[in-house]
Each structure stands twice: as C-alpha cells, then as structure tokens.
Amino acid sequence: MKWLILFLSLSWISPVWAAIAHGGACDGTTGCTPSSSANFQLDLSFSVNTSTTVPSLASGWTSITTKAGTSSAMRVQCRVDYSATAAASGTFSSSANVGLSGYTGTGARAVQDCATNGVAIGATASTSGSSTTPSCPALTLTNSAGTSWVVCGIFNAGGTADMCTPTNMTEVNAATTGDVGVFDTNGTVSSWNGATCSNAASENWIAVSLEVLVPPTNPPVMAQLVNGDGGAGNASDAGNPGNNYRFKMDPALAGNTELIYLAYDYSASRTLSIVDDKGDTATKAVSCNDTTLSPGLSFSIYYIQNLTAGATTLTFTFDAPIPDFTQGHHQFSGIATSGPVLDGTPSCGSELRPSAVTVGNVADPAGTTTTASGDLVVNAVFDEGQGFGFGNTNTIYDIIFGSGYSGLFGEMQYGAAAQAIIQPSSGPIKPAMTFVQSSWDPYAYMTAAFKTTPGAGTARSTGRILRMLETWVPQGTPAMNWVFPCDSGNLLEFTYENNIGIDGTNITAMGDTAGNTYAGYTYGDSAHPQYWVTSNATCNGQLFGFEHGSSATGDVTRMTVYEVTGAATSAAVDTGASATFSAAAVTTLSAAVTSATQTSLSLAAAGGISNGEYLMISSEVVLVAAGGGTTSITVTRGQFGTTPLSSIAAGTGIWPSNYTSSPAITTSQANEIIFCSMNQGTGPNWDTINSTYDFASFPGLSDGNYYSNGDGSCHAYAPTAGTYNLGWLVDNVSSGDFGSTSAIAVKLQGSAPTVRHRAWVIQ
C-alpha cells in the first residue's frame, strides 16, 4: 500500500469515510442463507475443510485469502448482494463448516472488486496453531482514521463446545456453527494489535483477520464545473464510419472554457479540427498515439477558450471517415478568457497496465508539474482493449475516481472516464484511477493543467443539466451496473430507450450505493422508452448503481443519465406523454426546383403530407405552409438553419422528416425540463425538433449494430407552462418504419433557460 499512502498525500484532501453496520449472517456446512440482506451488502464467508485441502471457491464469490493449518484449511471469500431479499450462499465444495457474516456501508460495489485492496477489504493476515489460545492476528490497517472494522474467522477443532470469543471482539450471531466462528469489533477501530482467547483444551486452529472499510468519498463537484457530457461516440462498426461528428452541448456560458478528451482511429496522416457553430475553434493541449494496436489509436485533449454564449454544437472533422470514436467534453468557468492558459507540460501515454487490484491501479507515470497555485488539473483515461468503440476485451466491473478528485464521467462499457481537481499549491501531480477487470486491458492516460482566474467566465446557474452520460449496459441478472459522479441534492434522471419489443429490456428495479429511491415511469406500452428518477439524491461524489431488468432479444440496453441542479426535491415529476408514428411512403417531385427562393413545389402524389409538416428534400428541410394533401404545395425553405438549395432535380425523393407532436407534452407550470426519447428499431434518427438531440450524429449516418439502432435521447427546457411539440428527424422512411416516442417533464426550482437548439440537417 505504499502507493496509496503517497497518493493520499498528493490529493491534499482529508478523506471522508462512510459508516459500516451489521447485515445478515448465517452458518451451515456447505452453505447457508443470510438472515437478511440489503443492496450492496458485503458478505464474508469463512469456509473450512477438516483436511489440508482448501475448500473450493463458490460460484458468484471472490476469493480473499486461504490458509492451511496442521490438519485443516480455510478459505475466506466475499460477494456483493444486489437485493434486499437474502440469497443462498451457494455451495462451498469440500467444506465441513461455514460461517457467513454480512456488512452494509462498506466499499463493496461488485463481486469482482469486493476483495480489491482498498475498496472493501483492507489489510488481511492469517495464522494457525495447536494450543488453548486461538489468536486473531494483528493488522497494519489501510485506514487509520478510526472508521474500519476488523472481522476474524476462527476454525477450532474443538467445535462450538470449546469456542472462545477473542478479547475486544463480539461473536456474530448466526455466523457460528460446529468448528467455525465469526467475530468482529462491532464498531470502528484505528489500529488492531490482534486478539486472543482461551479454550479449555488444546486444539488445532486457524484464524484470519480482515479489515473491512470503504474508500474515501469524492468531494462535492467543484464550483467551476458548469456542465458536460461523457461517453458518446461511434461504435466499432466497419460498415458505419463517420466524419464531421456533431454533439449538442447544453448552453455555453460567456467566457467559459470547454475541455474535450477523445480517442479515435490512428493514421500517420490524421488531422482533426474541432469547432462550434459560432466559429470558436479548439486548441490541442496534448496528444499521443498507440501504433502497437491494430488498428492503432490516437488520444488527445483539446480546449476552447472564451466560449461564445448560447446553444452550441461541437463538430469534429477528421481527414477521413473513421469507425472508432469516443469523447467527453465539460465546460468550466474561472479560466482566463485570453492569453496562455496551459500550465506545465501536459502528459499523454499509452499501453499502461495495472499491476495489482488496488486503489489507484492505473496511475499517470508522468503526470504534470504545475507552476501556479489553484490550477484545474484534468485527467482522462481510455481503455485500449479490442473492440475499442464498443466494449473492451475484458469487462470493466468498476471505475473508482482518485481520492480528492471530482468525477466528470465514467463509462464502463466503452472504458472511458475523466476526473478533475483544483491543485492548491504548484508542484508535481500524478493522478490515478482504479479500473476493476478480471484481466487488464492496456490504458491510455492524459493529464493537463489549466491556470485559473477567479471571476473569469460565467458561473453555472441553477435549473440546468450539470452532467450527462451516454452508455450501454449489458443485460443480465441479477443486475446491470453503472457508475456516475454526482452531487447531493440534485435530481438524477435515467432514460432507457431500448425497451421490450424494440430489441431491449424493461428495467424492473434500480438501486445505488447511497440508498437512493428510484421511481420508474413508462408512458405508453412496454415498447416505449422508460424513465427512472430520484430527486434530492444522496451522492458521495460517485454513485455505483444497478438495474434489474427483464431480458428481451438484445444483449445491451442504451442508457442516458442526466444530473440536474435546482430541481424540485420532492414530487419532481410533473407529467409524461407518449406517441407512436409510422413512416410515410416516399413521394417524388414532378417539377424541378430551380432557385433557392422557389416555394411552390409539385408532387407526383400527395403522400399523406399535410400543412405544418416538415419534409426532407435532398439535404434541405422545408416546412409545408399550404396545399397539404394535394399535388401542389407551398413551402418555407431552409428550415433549422439550413441553406436553401439552388436546384433540386425532378424526381428527387422527399419524405416527412418530423413526425409532428411525437409526442406533444403539456407542462402544468413554468420552469420545467423535459426528457424525451424514441425507440425506432431500424434507424437511424439523427436529430430532433424543439429539443436538444443528445446523441452523436454525422452526415451520411447509417444504422449500425450499436451506434444508433433507431434509438435516441433528447431534452428541452420549458420556461413557461404549455404544450411542447417534439419531433424526430430520421432518414430511413423510404422503406417504412414504426417508432415509439415518449417524454417526461420535471419541475425546477429556478428559472428554466429559454435556449432552444436548432436542428442540424445532415444527410
């Protein structure tokens, strides 16, 4: 643990530790069922064989340690419960006796990390002997702050009739049977010098001591963070490469700085420019390549200084289309609006591999050395595993931000995360983050420091999205896991657009490490998107949660998480709505458009087109102003910021691009935020009307296995009470399609922004 001690000293933050309490317990021979359970209860089992053969590892458990004695052997293993319904332990083969003790409030989040050094289990030690004095061995505690518990399992050949209780420990009821006893300190300790007890007769015995703990919580979100997104990108799908990727940002505030971290396919001639729709251009802070992979990968951090205020779309333009692309971007205030802003030398490295499952198992070996106090230090990490754009070689079970760092996003399916910290004093800093895998992929690691200027830019306002995460979570039982940084008191909204009937799942329950209560909302039938909300959330800087789901035909579910500041703390959901649409058939122009000002069009067939409907003609969207339902219509040209085309050849296909009122949602009061989503099945959709489209899109987008699949998420701010008509732009209607859309409105305490994003037309 030398590294952990060093890292805590570099974070300059006093750790805050959570409280541990007893959970359910039980005893048996080859298994038992705890007396009670809870979400994220840590179960410890001490199984013993009365020979020197170590009992086997039970299914669904992780081994912590083993110890062979004179004529017996013990295995200590752990698991994590995801339900308040106690589950049987399973079978501990070759076990003669087992004692199981449960603990809540620990750092246990997933069975794969329940034995991770510094997450749920700290120091361990074992010993054995043949005497009248079984002894729980001493420990040098990982956490000396006085908040750890110590648990000891003792095998005693004399059985329960001759089982003593060690000094300063308590026997765990229902966790002792036959030759095995489980004891703990029944409270916190700051040190552990061991404990001994006396039996009536000399016996062969084994004793194992364990420190049970939680890692330090992350601090509240730094005031400089205004908003941001993470996890969005294109999947690794050779048939769906893209360029000019576009991402909608929640509104930029004047004078702020946008930080962008991304990974993409390598090429020796690769170029990249990042601009927003107001002409602000990004500057590269650092980049590096990994050419040992096939294909190779590139990694970089960019920044846009002194943002222009307003609704903003970021566009990423490469020298050629690429299939692999993922990114995160976050807006910060308090950074100088002009002049040099980078401090020190940013670092970028690849092929970093963890050496052990401990807190901080992926550390930036170079880091950076700052020259000014109060720098904003940003650290981004990408898993370089095979299948980069969607999934990794080895599943990521957990992401843990560094002590003292504010998490920006953590995406376990793609394997991407970012964190930030305000460094109080100048000097070297080497951020670290923990990734839990059964076998480690290589990682790319980037660190950059930005000089801060008090009062620069515009601080975030209430009633807006603070953080957003787009991710995929595998279907499975009992749970699908996610990780999300957040702040206490905010509202969290989860959108699941892959529901049953559209190659997905329905979520049946949600929970997290902070014990927040989630309510589920489905408007329409089970094919419609689903929403889960918790208001006034308890957050420890990073939530780790799960969803129980009913499996359908797909193997993943797409999830978008939003964290909202200034939302109502109770009865937050106002209303919801749903709608369905069927794509209209293609119709054709019978007369060419000869100028950009022409507004009269002739159609070969009416095609069911009505007044007020949007049509796509080549790459232009027009609005039908009159003549709907006939072969002669009048249109308004160049909708949503597009430039009217000067010519459109006769016979060009046209189709409705917006399914009006899909859905229409009516808010009952002013200042609300609307979350909306669509299941289409075939796809792709590529933008929305009267809302902000929250996925990536690019010209020529085609449906990929995982990239779009006809699904989409969006949000809109509703400053006044009334009806809001939402719509979706799609480009596959020539073959016909069916879509299910829905929306949910959430009340805000403060004023809702009046910003409305225009739709980008990309075809």
For the chain, domain boundaries: 17-212, 219-460, 462-584+661-763, 590-651
- Which of 507, 500, 444 is CA-nearest to residue 481? 507
Mean predicted confidence (pLDDT) in 298-316: 93
pLDDT, mean of residues 594-620: 81
Where residue 552 falls among pLDDT bands split at 50, 70, 90? very low
pLDDT category of residue 227 using cuts at 50, 70 and 90: very high
- The contacts of residue 459 (CB under 8 Å, 6+ apart) are 223, 226, 253, 333, 334
Structure token pair of residue 650: 């006769």
Rounded-to-integer distance, Cα 171 and Cα 153, Å: 10
pLDDT at 14: 32
Write down the mean pLDDT value for the chain: 86
Residue 139 near residue 123, CB atoms below 8 Å: yes
Tokens representing residue 523 in the block: 């408007």
Residue 759 has pLDDT above 50, yes or no: yes
Give the Cα separation of 751 and 664 in Å (integer): 22
* Whole-number Å distance between alpha carbons of 213 and 141: 10
Question: Rounded to the nearest 5 degrees, what angle is found at the Cα of 343, between the Cα atoms of 338 and 346?
Answer: 120
Q: Supply the pTM of this predicted model.
A: 0.90
What pLDDT is attached to residue 354? 87
Lowest mean pLDDT of 116-125, 356-365, 433-442, 476-485, name the range: 476-485
CA 486 → CA 162, 468, 626, distances in Å?
Answer: 51, 10, 49
- Two tokens at 368? 């950076």
pLDDT above 80 (res 476)? no
pLDDT at 16 over 50: no
pLDDT of 172 higher than 90 = yes
Reported confidence tier of residue 59, pLDDT bands at 50, 70, 90: very high
Residue 340 has pLDDT above 80, yes or no: yes
Residue, of 282 and 218, whose pLDDT is higher: 282
What pLDDT, on a 0 to 100 scale, did the predictor assign at position 689?
82
Residue with tokens 């950059």: 448
Most confident of 3-12, 47-56, 697-706: 47-56
**Number of Cβ within a 10 Å radius of residue 427:** 13
| Dist. CA 278–CA 274, nearest whole Å | 12
pLDDT at 606: 58
pLDDT at 704: 52
Which pLDDT belongs to residue 732?
54
Q: Can you give the pLDDT at residue 667?
A: 97
The CA distance from 561 to 692, in Å, is 15
Among candidates 455, 467, 468, 458, which has minimal Cα distance to 253?
A: 458
638: tokens are 């160049």
Cα–Cα separations (whole angstroms), residue 120 to 114, 210, 253, 395 = 6, 10, 41, 20
Structure tokens of 82?
A: 């995801």
Both tokens of 363, joined, read: 């550390």
Pick the most confident of 237-241, 528-532, 695-699. 528-532
pLDDT at 352: 92
Write down the pLDDT at residue 257.
98
Stretch 210-235: mean pLDDT, rounded? 86
Alpha-carbon distance 277 to 422, whole Å? 30
Confidence of residue 659 (pLDDT cuts 50, 70, 90): low
| Residue 630: band (very low, low, confident or very high) from pLDDT cuts 50, 70, 90 | confident
Mean pLDDT of 590-606: 87
CA 202, CA 423: separation in Å to the nearest integer? 58
Residue 296 has pLDDT above 80, yes or no: yes
Higher-pLDDT residue of 133, 619: 133
Among candidate residues 447, 412, 357, the one with its CA nearest the CA of residue 78:
357
Cα separation, 406 vs 458, whole angstroms: 20
pLDDT at 333 > cutoff 50: yes
Q: How many CA atoms lie within 13 A of 248 on its CB side?
A: 24
475 pLDDT more than 70: no
Which pairing describes strands 519-522 and 480-484: parallel, antiparallel, or unpaired?
unpaired
Whether pLDDT at 584 is above 70: no
| Of 707, 712, 745, 749, the residue nearest 727 (C-alpha) | 712
Q: How would you class 2 by CB atoms within 10 Å of its CB: exposed for 0-12, middle for 13-18, buried for 19 or more?
A: exposed
pLDDT at 46: 97
Three-state SS letters, 698-713: CCCCCCCCCCCCCCEE
Nearest Cα to 545, choosing from 415, 399, 648?
Answer: 399
728 versus 433: the higher-pLDDT residue is: 433
DSSP H or E segment with residue 531: strand 530-534
- The average pLDDT across 287-291 equals 95
Phi/psi zone of residue 497: left (φ > 0), alpha (ψ -120 to 50 degrees), beta?
alpha
What per-residue confidence (pLDDT) applies to 623?
Answer: 87
Residue-level pLDDT at 295: 76
If one compares 279 and 5, the residue with the highest pLDDT of the two is: 279
The answer to whether 266 and 324 are in contact (CB under 8 A) is no
Distances (CA, A) of 659 to 471, 614, 739: 26, 8, 10
Checking if the pLDDT of 446 tops 70, the result is yes
Whether the link from the prior residue into 684 is cis, omega within 30° of 0, is yes
- pLDDT, residue 555, reads 54
d(CA 521, CA 471): 20
**Centroid of chain to Cα 449:** 24
Task: Report the pLDDT value the prediction gives residue 547, as an integer from 0 to 100.
Answer: 85
**Mean pLDDT calculated for residue range 242-254:** 88
Mean pLDDT of 482-507: 82
R_g (Cα) of the chain, nearest Å: 29
Q: Which residue has the higher pLDDT, 413 or 607?
A: 413
Mean pLDDT over residues 476-497, rounded? 86
Please, which residues bridge with residue 437 across strands?
Answer: 396
pLDDT at position 480 is: 78
- Bridging pattern class, strands 556-564 and 465-474: antiparallel
> Is pLDDT of 372 > 80?
yes
pLDDT of residue 660: 66
Percent of the chain predicted with pLDDT > 70 = 87
Residue 55: band (very low, low, confident or very high) from pLDDT cuts 50, 70, 90: very high
Lowest mean pLDDT among 328-337, 369-378, 543-552, 717-726: 543-552
Residue 171 DSSP SS3:
strand
Count of alpha carbons within 13 angstroms of residue 668, beta-carbon side: 9
| pLDDT for position 709 | 58
| Residue appearing with tokens 């013993």 | 48
> What values do phi and psi take at 349, rounded to 5?
-140, 155
- HEC states along 222-280? CCCEEEEEEEEEECCCCCCCECCEEEEEEEECCCCEEEEEEEEECCCCCCEEEEECCCC
**400 half-sphere exposure, CB direction, 13 A CA radius:** 30
Q: Bigger pLDDT: 293 or 531? A: 531
pLDDT value, residue 11: 29
Indicate the length of the chain as a whole number: 763
Place of tokens 């002894």: 135
Query: Under a CB-based contact definition with an 8 Å cutoff, are residues 546 and 727 in contact?
Result: no
What average pLDDT does this structure show over 109-137? 93
CB atoms within 10 A of CB 556: 22
Token digits of residue 183: 């004891």
Given this model, what pLDDT does residue 605 score?
67
CA separation for the pair 635, 735 (Å, rounded) = 24
Model pLDDT, residue 706: 45
